[in-house]
Amino acid sequence: MRRAPTSHRADHPPRPDRPPRPDRPPYGPRPTRQRRAPHPHYRTTRATGPPALPALPALPAPPYQPHRRTTRTADQCWEKTVLLDGRSVVITGAGSGVGRASALLFAAEGAQVVCADVREDWAAETVRLIAEQPGAKGAGVAQRCDVTVPADVDAAVATAVGRFGRLDVMFNNAGIATPVFGMRTEDHTLDQIEALMAVNIRGVLLGCQAAVRQFRAQGGGGVIVNTGSVAGLVGWGGTVYGATKGAVNQLTRGVAVECAADDIRVNAICPAAMPATNFMVPGAEAGSQGIGEEEARAVGASHPLGRPITAEDCAAAALFLASDAARNITGVLLPVDGGFVAQ
């Protein structure tokens, strides 16, 4: 049986050598401690809240303007933002593939595009497609340009400045692929190696030089977008081709750091294989020529997303990097690969 609770002091009487304190009884429960009264300020703030702020003077009402529209129509609410309105752009390799898709997209976003290509007839066809594009807010002009020749690259920049007043974006896109798909390193001839290095490395370097000179001369910064490759990020694709694209990737980062103080942004897109373009068909004679559908599906199956990369995918990535939406992005190598390099 449990015994009734008793006081601690009742169970343990005081020791004879320690007399009880005069302010409390020798046994029994402790007296209840009285709560101290709260501070007067505490009671005031709890009851009334913080002191009220002084009222601000009322602003005068704007004058009534009956001619001014105060609401937006449905078309205005859904109006698409133009990302490159009035920007002057040079795109090398604009006669096919990523270059043509980018020229069409940039022009649709309001850019004035110099379509530069070593095949002037291909560049002229891109300009024709821009002119026929419904709703295009920009325009295009064809320019023959061999990116391995400094005078040609300078002439493309001069065309942009002469026709549109300045240069805002330089898209160094021109490049060539491995001469034979799946070609081994030891099978490359010296001429093939030098051709890959001349177009893919020297061409991008000359484009960066010409753009930086113009950006610094006119002031106000500028944008450079280069076309690299996932072959420059991982050991995939032709070895010599991948080495040239690795150089493009490193050039992009180096120029980005070097020119950041002048507000010149430099980035690169790094596409995976694009079976719907003539880039996988060396020696193609058409501006848009790719491999068969079965082979394209096999290429897409190598990507985690399961889809092949298109020229339009790369154009959309380049548009983002060229626009003010990426105003605080520089030195970035943006893979357009369906997740290939993330594996």
- For the domain covering 84-342, report its CATH number: 3.40.50.720
Of the pLDDT bands very low, low, confident and very high (cuts 50, 70, 90), residue 339 is confident
Residue 250's pLDDT is 97
Q: Decide if pLDDT at 11 tops 60.
A: no
Residue 287's pLDDT is 54
The string of pLDDT tens digits covering residues 268-319 is 999 988 776 666 555 555 555 555 566 666 666 677 888 888 899 999 999 9
3-state secondary structure 45-63: HHHHCCCCCCCCCCCCCCC
- 308 vs 299: CA distance, rounded Å: 6
The string of pLDDT tens digits covering residues 223-276 is 999 999 988 998 877 899 999 999 999 999 999 999 999 999 999 999 988 776
Identified catalytic residue from 27, 42, 64, 241: 241
For the question of residue 241 being annotated catalytic, the response is yes
Among 332, 328, 322, smallest CA distance to 112 is for 322
The string of pLDDT tens digits covering residues 125-179 is 999 999 998 877 889 999 999 999 999 999 999 999 999 999 999 999 999 988 8
> What are the domain boundaries of the chain?
84-342
Residues found in the chain:
343
Mean pLDDT value across the chain:
83
The reply to whether the predicted model has a pTM over 0.85 is no
Of the pLDDT bands very low, low, confident and very high (cuts 50, 70, 90), residue 338 is confident
Q: Decide if pLDDT at 84 tops 80.
A: yes
H-assigned helices in 219-307: 239-259, 293-301
Of the pLDDT bands very low, low, confident and very high (cuts 50, 70, 90), residue 183 is confident
State how far the alpha carbon of 24 is from the alpha carbons of 7, 32, 34, 36, 170, in Å. Answer: 14, 11, 15, 20, 91
